Structure 1
Amino acid sequence: MADFATLDELKARLDWTLDADEERIATSALEDASDLARGYAGRDWEPSSSAPRLVRTLVLKACKRYMTNPQGLTQSRAGDETLGWNDTQGENAGTVYFTHDEQRMLAELGGRKNGLVSASITAWNGRIYRGPGYVPAAGSSKPFPLFADEVEPW
């Protein structure tokens, strides 16, 4: 599977020149972000150039975020060597990730829509009687007629 963005497109968004090791990391980040984008969208665009431009933009945004701060730091000091992390990114700290809003956009681009869903429900341990107008009666093996019908009035 091809990536949704190229290394040159990522380099254009970064404000420094990548060395060979950083290029290797950036290539892996592009692969990871493309795989995540496919997962959140719930589909693959084949060829990858047929994907909406916003998918490419979101992949590049996630990769730039990772390349700018690969350790996921929230605080850093040079004097006395202070580094800091917090739980706002959770398990995503130090990895390529999409924010909640980016995940929602990818899902919508893939055709997944949030909304209402209807689900059929039944009573626990209940039985469905096929006869018209009858319901189960507690303590009896015979169903109780709930209403009259034309065939069998009560």
Structure 2
Amino acid sequence: MADLATLDELKGRLDWTLDADEERIATTALEDASDLARAHAGRDWPTAASAPRLARTLVLKACRRYMNNPSGYTQSRAGDETLGWSDDQGENAGTVYFSADEIELLEGLGGRKRGLTSVEVTAWNSRIPRGPAGLVPTQGGAPFPLFAHEEEPW
């Protein structure tokens, strides 16, 4: 599948001109970010034009973050050459990744909703008897009041 953003779009978001190695890295970062975006959204957008603009923006944002710090450094020092990594990003340090907010946006673009859902479950080919609101059917007796009914509170 095609990347959701182009190399030229990514170059427009960077503060420097890419050399040949950086262009190769940026191309693979665009591919990785596009695959991740599709996975989080649960959608297969075959082309960049078929993807929502926000999805393309999030791919470019993740790639820009990666290109600015491909090794995942959290500190650097010129004198005595000190470099530091942090476990804050965990397995995402030094890779293309989406933040939790970006993942939530991608899930929303794909129609996925987080949260608790109540689903009615029944046996195959069965029918649920419907009675008056607030009353539960019983086996051979009068309906049982499960919760307060506006007309007949208990």
TM-score range relative to shorter protein:
0.7 to 0.9
TM-score (norm 2): 0.76
Say whether residues 1:108 and 2:122 are aligned partners.
Answer: no
Which of 95, 120, 140 is matched with 1:149 structurally?
A: 140
Task: State the identity %.
Answer: 74
1:45: which partner in 2? Answer: 45
Alpha-carbon distance between aligned partners in 1 of 2:102 and 2:31, rounded to the nearest angstrom:
17
Is the partner of 2:76 in helix, strand or coil? Answer: strand
Q: Which runs of 5+ in 2 are unaligned?
A: 122-137, 142-154
The 1:73–1:148 alpha-carbon spacing in structure 2 relative to 1, beyond 3 Å, is closer
Q: Distance in 2 between matches of 1:17 and 1:148?
A: 77
Query: Shift of residue 148 of structure 1?
Result: 6.8
1:45 Cα deviation after fit = 1.7
Q: Which residue number in structure 1 is paired with residue 64 of structure 2?
A: 64
Structure 1 unaligned spans of 5+? 122-146
* Amino acid corresponding to residue 73 of structure 2 in structure 1: L
Q: Give the root-mean-square deviation of aligned CA atoms.
A: 1.7
Residue 85 of structure 1: CA displacement?
Answer: 1.0
Letter in 2 for 1:24: R
| 1:18 pairs with 2:18 | yes
In the other structure, the counterpart of 2:145 is none
Match in the other structure for 2:30: 30
Preserved CA contact (<8 Å) 2:48 2:56: no
Shift of 1:117: 1.9
- The CA distance in 2 between the partners of 1:9 and 1:25, in whole Å, is 15
CA apart distance, 1:119: 5.6
Q: Kindly name which structure, 1 or 2, has the bigger radius of gyration based on alpha carbons.
A: 1
| CA gap 1:148/1:52 in 2 versus in 1, 3 angstroms | closer
CA shift, 1:61, in A, is 0.3
TM-aligned CA deviation for residue 4 of structure 1: 0.5
TM-score between the two structures when normalised by the length of structure 1:
0.76
User: Contact 2:76/2:83 (CA < 8 Å) preserved in 1?
Assistant: yes
Count of residues in correspondence between the two structures: 125
Q: Secondary structure at the match of 2:66?
A: helix
Runs of 4+ in 1 over 6 A off after TM superposition: none
SS at match of 1:74: strand
Identify the range of structure 1 (18-27 vs 38-47) with the bigger mean alpha-carbon deviation: 38-47
1:120 CA displacement: 7.1
